[in-house]
Amino acid sequence: MLSKLTILALCLLMLTGCWSRRELNDILVVLGAGIDWEEGEYLVSFQVVNPSEISTQRKSADRPPVTLYQGKGKTLFEAARSLTAEAPRKVYMGHLQLYVLSEEIARRGLNDVVDNMLRDNEFRMDFNLVVAKGTSASDILKLYTPLEKLPTNNMLQSLETSEKSWAPSVSIMLDEVLDKLSNDGTELALTGIQLIGDPNMGESKKNVEVYHPPSRFRYTGIAAFKGDKLVSWLNENESKGYTDITDNLDSTSIELACGERDYMGIEIISSNAKIETKLRSGKPEVAVSIRSEANIVDRSCKSVDLTDPEAIKRLEEEAAKQLRSHAEAAVKKAKRLKSDILGFGNQLGKDYPEYWKTVKDSWNERYFPQTEVTYNIKLMIRKTGTTGNSTLKHS
Amino acid sequence: MASFLAVLALAGGVFWLEAPGLIRRKRKRELAVFVVFLLAATALYGALALEVKLPNPFMIIKLVYGGGA
Amino acid sequence: MKGKADVKISVRQFTILVILGVIGDSILILPTITATSAKQDAWLSMLLAMLLGMGAGWLFASIADRLRGESPVTAMQARLGAWAGGAAGLLLLFNFFMCVLTLLSEMSQFMTTQLMPETPVNAILIVFLAVVIVAYRYGLEAFARMSELLFPVFALLLVFLVVFLIPQVKIENLQPIGRTGFFSIWEGALPSFAAGFAEMVVLLMLVPHVAAKGKLRRPILTGFAVGGAMMLAVVLLCVTVLGPSLMETKYYPTFVLAQKITVGDFLERLEAIMAFLWIITVFNKVLLLYYGLTTGLSQLLKLREDRMLTIPLGMILLVCTVIGTPNITVYNEIIVNDYPWFDMTFGLALPALLLALLLVKRSRKMSGE
């Protein structure tokens, strides 16, 4: 009898819920976070969901679907907590999708910011990090975007889609950031995000009331880091080369000139890159081999006959040359920055661990810039769309 | 203070739970051991409740095996 | 009331208890410890620990077979006399006591770090210990059956963890294989061996109650092998999915592993369910050690009952856990550097002594004394 009572009592104990329960309406779900550096302090912005606005059942007053809360402090935690002076609830970071770092914070060094993210138990590893170029992080988070009610959702999906289909962007999550920052053989590279148009316009709902929003975001090139500090931006070609070499490229477009104004459009549909390292007489050499498959999607050149195998072969060679020039540009820029963002050192460490141990401390400064890189790029054009040469008459 | 009284109450409860059975079954030795343990437990728990600084049991290990591998 | 020696558990239940006991708290904290020493070769450390563990298993099995249904505590008392035997028994119980402290400490720290940060540690410990006490009072058979029931759940969850994470496995994280050097691998293997295998000396306390006279070698070795293999799988998974940096940084890498599960963008955020995994194993090991402690005490003091000791013992354990863990840094420092040696002294040296005693007695018997 007594034991039954004890068990009943224990079960009832469970029903009181745990100490740390936080009901859904007690938390502020943060979707996007941004961090700026202002006057010697961190300025943290949180883009927070307004749940009643995105629910399809109740159309309430015209409040925006998200709200921006900001806090200032000397540490990230202080900044985040200080915003409770304005916000009705405490933030919950478990649904964070995007973290925008301002360029200044990136130049000052990411270690402190990343450390806080790792230590906190609410952060997960699955959100993307980007660097704001030319604007502050909070401006990015204030943007009204068309199509998606939640702007960070929009930005996140755009990042993922553009990584797969356009190339000069990479979607990097926190665990990868930690890996690259801890590893000696790779340097960090993050995608940059830009605000086009008028930031003031972007804040208001009028931004999405017209067909072409005057204020939009756009993913621009890739930011190259050295250690945890941002050193430079890669332009479009260099960024494409970067994604290609690091085997992140899935699909992109290549334009081949065949005259003054006309370009052939080639769509790359898949690409695999491999980095092989060799030690020749004590000096490291890297062989980059890229294998891509492509389709022809745009034929503006009259002189190209798509039913001629020779023409296809010529196009393949020219496209491969372009890929090669992208890759070369990326490597050249990385060498100039003395920052091995491509991960050559990492591969070297795996293939020749003994040698790597001796050079890894001065890899970025001395050995990497001197490394000879050879390219082996093969591009195969498989299809030309649903037609060969169209019957359209060219003038 | 309140937590200390709670500890005493708990000890009393445990005693009331177990002792009558032991006495009824005439287990003198067991009763003695039980009381000793209960007293030790109450003393410890009470000390914790009163925030008396108690020595860390792991320090014994550190003493004997100290210095690291 | 049934006589205590009548309580019998089957060989399969025994094996299951051993498996869950080997995994114990290792699944929570060991990956970090091994990764700190051995980096990407942490799995090699685990492999080495397994090999050493099989050796320890052999030792335990030899003792178990020779005990012939006697408890190690009474065996030592019988052969060494009341005082020396009592002291040896006390040392063994001291090992059990400290082991429980470590387990309770880790479990409560995990709960308050990852899952319920604002809950006071006392509350978690009270509830946990209350369940342990009730489980003990129901008897060995009951908790052996419970473990038998929970084992498939555990195995299933583990399989889920592995299967759902296979898409995220990056074999290159294992490279360069073996380059951290033997010393680092050894450094990582020691805590793994101590926590997983040497601490299982407590299984000797179960020997009198297993329904298989003198044939305990196989269940013990099987249990060690299976438990060790599961731990190896977990460590391998940690290295390949998380990479050595993340594994070393985060305190509870298996929790991060569970966080990473995402199947088709649909099955996500399952880490709370995965928490069952380690709650099962930690609870099992705590119960095992608690059983060893209480039963051992009653054998040492030659008591006819031990149920009355349960609650006071629980209280003492709670208090000692709280004062033993002022903060995680102090605790970690001891656990990584000094505790493995403690484990091995009592988990290996003491049993070896016992084995010697048993062998001597036997050969005396054989020479017809």
Domain boundaries, chain B: 2-65
Return the bridge partners of A295, or none: A267, A383
Confidence of residue C365 (pLDDT cuts 50, 70, 90): low
Indicate the pairing of strand A41-49 with strand A128-133. unpaired
CA separation for the pair A249, A269 (Å, rounded):
9
Mutation for C interface: A15, A175, A228, most C CBs within 10 A: A175
| Predicted pLDDT of residue C96 | 92
Q: What is the pLDDT of residues A263-315, one digit of tens each?
A: 788 888 888 888 888 888 878 888 888 888 888 887 777 777 777 788 888 88
Backbone angles phi and psi of A67, in degrees to 5? -130, 155
Among chain C residues, the shortest Cα distance to A2 is held by C134
What pLDDT does B66 receive? 66
Contact C26, C227 (CB under 8 A): no
The residue-averaged pLDDT of A378-393 equals: 77
Q: Give residue C1's pLDDT.
A: 36
Task: Tell me the C-alpha distance between C213 and A31, whole Å.
Answer: 62
Q: What are phi and psi of C319, to 5 degrees?
A: -60, -45
Phi-psi region of A383 (alpha: psi -120 to 50; beta: other; left: phi over 0): beta
Contacts of B62 in chain C (CB under 8 A): 334, 338
Domain that holds residue C225: 4-353
Which residues 6-25 of chain A have a CB within 8 Å of chain C? 6-7, 10, 13-14, 18-20
One DSSP character per residue, A65-100 reads SEEEEEEEESSHHHHHHHGGGTSSSEEEGGG--EEE
Q: Which residue has the tokens 């929003």?
A: A213
Cα–Cα distance, A127 to A124 (Å, whole number): 7
Take residue A4 and report the two structure tokens written for it: 């039954």
Beta partners for residue A131, in sequence order: A101, A192
Residue of B nearest to C187 (CA): B69
Q: What is the mean pLDDT of chain A?
A: 81
Please give the pLDDT value at position C152: 92
Summarize pLDDT for C190-204 with one digit per residue, the tens: 889 988 898 888 888
pLDDT score at A60: 55
Judged by a CB distance cut-off of 8 A, whether residue B50 touches chain C is no
Nearest CA in chain B to C317: B41
Query: For residue A61, what pLDDT is reported?
Result: 55
pLDDT at residue C303, rounded to an integer: 83
Q: How far is C36 from chain B (nearest CA, A)?
A: 14
Cα–Cα distance, C152 to C131 (Å, whole number): 21
Q: Would you call B35 an interface residue with chain C, using a CB distance cutoff of 8 Å? A: no
For chain C, the residues whose C-beta falls within 8 A of a C-beta of chain A are: 113-120, 123, 127, 130-131, 134, 137-138, 172, 175-176, 179, 242-243, 245-246, 249-250, 256, 259-260, 262, 269
Residue with more model confidence, B1 or C240 = C240
CA distance C97 to C223: 23
Residues of B in contact with C324 (CB under 8 A): 56-58
Q: Is the pLDDT of residue A63 over 70?
A: no
* Percentage of chain A modeled with pLDDT above 90: 0
Has residue C39 been placed in a domain? yes
Q: In this structure, what token pair is assigned to residue A41?
A: 């302090």
Q: Give residue-wise pLDDT tens across range A129-159.
A: 989 888 888 888 887 776 667 778 778 888 8
Q: What is the pLDDT of residue B67?
A: 54
Residue C336 distance to chain B (closest CA, Å)? 8
| Nearest CA distance, A199 vs chain C (angstrom) | 33
**DSSP bridge partners of A128:** A98, A173
Please indicate if any CB of chain C lies within 8 Å of the CB of B26.
no
Residue C151: which H helix or E strand, with range? Answer: helix C140-165
User: C174: domain CATH number?
Assistant: 1.20.1740.10
- pLDDT value of residue C368: 46
Q: Name every chain B residue with its beta carbon within 8 A of the beta carbon of C341.
A: 65, 69
- Taking CA–CA distances from B41, the nearest residue in chain C reads C316
Residue C78 belongs to a domain:
yes
Q: Is residue B28 within 8 Å of B19, Cβ to Cβ?
A: no
Of the two residues C360 and C340, the one the predictor is more confident about is: C340
CA-to-CA dists, residue C205 to A113, C13, C68, C146, C238, angstroms: 51, 14, 12, 18, 33
- By DSSP bridging, strand A263-280 and strand A252-257 are antiparallel
Contact C245 A18 (CB under 8 A): no
Q: Is C315 close to B56, i.e. CB distance below 8 A?
A: no
pLDDT at C151 exceeding the cut of 90: yes
- On whether the CB atoms of residues A379 and A312 are closer than 8 A, the answer is no
pLDDT at C129: 92
pLDDT at A246 over 50: yes
Cβ-contact A143, A164 below 8 angstroms: no
Contact B57 C101 (CB under 8 A): yes
Q: How far is C74 from chain B (nearest CA, A)?
A: 18
Backbone angles phi, psi at A48, to 5 degrees: -115, 140
Tokens of A23: 């009901």
Residue C5, pLDDT score: 54
Amino acid identity, position C198: A
pLDDT higher than threshold 60 for residue C271? yes
* Residues A218/A193, Cβ–Cβ less than 8 Å: yes
**Phi-psi group of B67: left, alpha or beta (phi > 0 → left; psi -120 to 50 → alpha; rest → beta):** left
Say yes or no to pLDDT of C83 above 70: yes
What confidence tier does C3 reach under pLDDT thresholds 50, 70, 90? very low
Name the token pair of A252: 């992109």
- Average pLDDT (A187-200) is 83
Count Cβ–Cβ pairs < 8 Å, chain A vs chain C: 56
Q: Which chain A residues are within 8 Å of C260, Cβ to Cβ?
A: 125-126, 175
In order of their start, the domains of chain A are 25-233 (no CATH), 236-395 (3.30.300.210)
Q: What's the whole-number mean pLDDT along residues C338-359?
A: 85
Out of A15-19, A328-332, A339-343, C7-11, pick the least confident.
A15-19
**Residue C42 has which token pair?**
């942490």
Any CB–CB contact under 8 A between B22 and chain C? yes
- The pLDDT-based confidence of C101 (bands split at 50, 70, 90) is very high
What six digits make up the tokens of C181? 């050097």
Burial grade of A340 (CB within 10 A; 0-12, 13-18, 19 or more)? buried
Q: Which of B52, B61, B62 to mutate to test the interface with C (most CBs of C within 10 A)?
A: B61
> What confidence score (pLDDT) does residue C22 get?
92
In this prediction, residue C111 carries a pLDDT of 84
Nearest-Cα distance to chain B for C346, in Å, is: 12
Angstroms from C173 CA to nearest CA on chain A: 9
CA-based nearest residue to C258, from C276, C244, C236 = C276
The arithmetic mean of pLDDT across residues A179-200, rounded, is 83
Return the residue matching tokens 């094996």.
C15
CA atoms within 13 A on the CB side of A168: 23
Mean pLDDT across the stretch C117-132?
86
Instruction: Count interface pairs B-C at CB distance under 8 A.
Output: 95
Asked if A107 and A166 count as a contact pair (C-beta separation under 8 A), the reply is no
For residue A279, the model assigns a pLDDT of 83
Q: Which residue has the tokens 């550096």?
A: A37
Q: What is the C-alpha to C-alpha distance for residues A348 and C102, in angstroms, rounded to an integer?
A: 42
Neighbouring chains of C at 3+ CB pairs under 8 Å are: A, B
Write out chain C residues lying below 8 Å of A13, CB-based.
Answer: 127
Chains in touch with A (3+ beta-carbon pairs under 8 Å) read: C
Q: Indicate yes or no: CB of B33 within 8 angstroms of CB of C98.
A: no
**Chain C: residue nearest A13 by CA?**
C127
C149 is written with which tokens?
């029931």
Residue C226 has pLDDT above 90, yes or no: yes
φ, ψ of residue A72 to 5 degrees: the values are -120, 150
Mean pLDDT of C229-251: 88
Query: What single letter denotes the amino acid at residue C335?
Result: I
Which band of pLDDT confidence, cut at 50, 70 and 90, is reported for residue A350? confident
Q: What is the mean pLDDT of chain C?
A: 85
Whether the CB-CB separation of C25 and C234 falls below 8 Å is answered with no
Tally of domains within chain C? 1
pLDDT greater than 50 at residue A112: yes
Q: Quick one: average pLDDT of C64-71? A: 80
- Chain A residues whose CB is inside 8 A of the C113 CB are 121
Of B30, B61, B67, nearest to C303 by CB-CB distance is: B30
SS3 state of residue A52: helix
Q: Identify the CA nearest to C263 among candidates C152, C161, C115.
A: C161
pLDDT at A62: 64
**CB-based burial label for C103 (10 Å; 0-12, 13-18, 19+):** buried
* A179-193 mean pLDDT: 86
Distance, in angstroms, between C198 CA and closest chain B CA? 16
Distance from CA of C48 to the nearest CA of A (A): 22
Q: Which residues of B touch C187 (CB under 8 A)?
A: 69
Question: Whose CA is closest to B7, among C308, C318, C321?
Answer: C318
CA distances from C290 to A26, C100, C280, C315 (A): 40, 7, 15, 12
Residue of A nearest to C40 (CA): A350
Nearest residue, CB atoms, C309 vs list B34, B55, B62: B34
Sheet architecture: strand order including A263-280: A252-257, A263-280, A283-298, A372-383
Helices and strands in chain A, H and E counts: 14, 13
User: What chain B residue is nearest to C320 in terms of C-alpha separation?
Assistant: B57
Q: Do B45 and C305 touch (CB under 8 A)?
A: no
Q: Give C9's strand partners.
A: C210
Strand duo A128-133 + A216-226: pairing: unpaired
Tell me the sheet residues that pair with A220: A192
